[in-house]
């Protein structure tokens, strides 16, 4: 009989892990709590640094899943796990030979940072809201008019002790650059500002993209955090900040304020970890057995990790980690 391996989470990491396991001859069960596969990728427009449509990547992964013999169970949430079983919310206990946890991350709730006015003032949006606008083909102010000045604020819900989010979400910087370039393509006459603490261009093509944003698109990068935002009488948003490179305070009115929200660990990870005796990192994400030699293994034999369940990652890193986790899980199961 085939070895049965359960993959929890049907996003990018889960689909890639399941596909790799199926290639190796495992009987794969892919469990997803939403009604369809795709995870956060379903809500993205184009991907950095190539501007590849997210729909192309998602469609291809789904096509491969459909062409395989992978069993997919949607609308099913895992509430407990062990090396040889997974328990669903409806009480079913599914037996297996190993488990790969690929349940991803949660986006930071920008309304917690009340000083920026998200959910309170018109024309304050998150990076996720902007991606939706790009997908729908309609980027505009709350009143439907074209924006002429747009400000992006980095690290909202990342590197912030006040909201217990001290980790770096890793992809916010490049997301801000990508979205600023998309805005300039739509509105070449607009002034676009990126307010940042540090620009972290860690990936292939990222630094080149950052330079292109400045040299070709004339996007302004200001080193400094926005301290507060407030509405103006004409429906704009006034922001106060400090340019830390010059040491000068700064105040300006913008048509749109975009908050680049970071990644945080899922709320249900605490219960899942407790059910199996799994270690978690101080950030709340799952803690691998070893960051170098066993980065896809948990501290419990038979349970493995792939993707952003253990730390913020890019799509490319997530796809690669799905392969590594599948190989490790397959070896453990005896394939």
4-105+265-333 CATH, one of 3.50.50.60, 3.40.50.880, 3.30.70.580, 3.40.50.2300: 3.50.50.60
User: Given this model, what pLDDT does residue 86 score?
Assistant: 97
pLDDT at residue 251 in the model: 94
The distance from CA 87 to its chain's CA centroid, rounded to whole angstroms, is 26
- Domain ranges (residues) in the chain: 4-105+265-333, 110-262
Angle formed by the axes of helices 172-186 and 127-136, nearest 10°:
40
pLDDT at 247: 86
Share the mean pLDDT of the chain. 96
What are the residues facing 78 on neighbouring strands?
88
Q: Rounded CA gap, 136 and 318, in Å?
A: 26
* pLDDT value of position 225: 87
Give domain 110-262's CATH architecture.
3-Layer(bba) Sandwich (3.50)
Residues of the chain with pLDDT under 50: none
Topology match between the domains 4-105+265-333 and 110-262? yes
Per DSSP, the three-state class of 171 is: coil
Query: Do residues 157 and 260 touch, judged by C-beta distance below 8 A?
Result: no
């Amino acid at each position: 009989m085939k070895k049965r391996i359960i993959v929890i989470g049907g996003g990018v990491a889960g689909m890639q892990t399941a596909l790799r396991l199926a290639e190796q001859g495992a009987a794969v069960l892919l469990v997803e709590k939403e009604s369809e596969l795709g995870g956060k990728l379903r809500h993205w427009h184009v991907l950095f640094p190539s501007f590849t449509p997210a729909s192309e990547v998602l469609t291809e992964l789904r096509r491969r899943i459909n062409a395989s013999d992978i069993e997919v169970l949607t609308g099913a949430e895992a509430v407990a796990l062990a090396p040889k079983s997974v328990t669903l919310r409806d009480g079913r206990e599914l037996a297996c030979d190993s488990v790969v946890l690929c349940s991803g991350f949660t986006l930071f709730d920008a309304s917690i940072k009340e000083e920026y006015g998200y959910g309170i003032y018109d024309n304050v949006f998150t990076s996720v809201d902007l991606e939706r606008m790009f997908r729908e083909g309609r980027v505009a102010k709350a009143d439907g008019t074209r924006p002429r000045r747009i400000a992006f604020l980095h690290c909202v819900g990342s590197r912030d002790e006040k909201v217990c989010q001290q980790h770096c979400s890793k992809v916010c910087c490049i997301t801000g650059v990508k979205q600023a370039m998309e805005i300039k393509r739509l509105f070449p006459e607009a002034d676009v500002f990126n307010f940042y603490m540090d620009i972290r261009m860690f990936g292939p093509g990222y630094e080149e993209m950052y330079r292109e944003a400045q040299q070709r698109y004339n996007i302004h990068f200001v080193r400094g955090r926005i301290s507060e935002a407030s509405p103006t009488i004409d429906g704009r948003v006034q922001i106060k900040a400090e340019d830390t490179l010059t040491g000068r305070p700064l105040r300006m009115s913008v048509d749109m304020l975009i908050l680049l929200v970071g990644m945080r660990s899922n709320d249900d990870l605490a219960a899942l970890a407790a059910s199996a005796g799994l270690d978690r990192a101080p950030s709340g994400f799952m803690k691998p057995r070893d960051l170098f030699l066993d980065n896809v293994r948990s501290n419990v034999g038979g349970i493995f990790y792939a993707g952003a369940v253990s730390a913020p990652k890019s799509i490319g890193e997530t796809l690669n980690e799905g392969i590594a986790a599948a190989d490790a899980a397959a070896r453990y199961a005896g394939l």
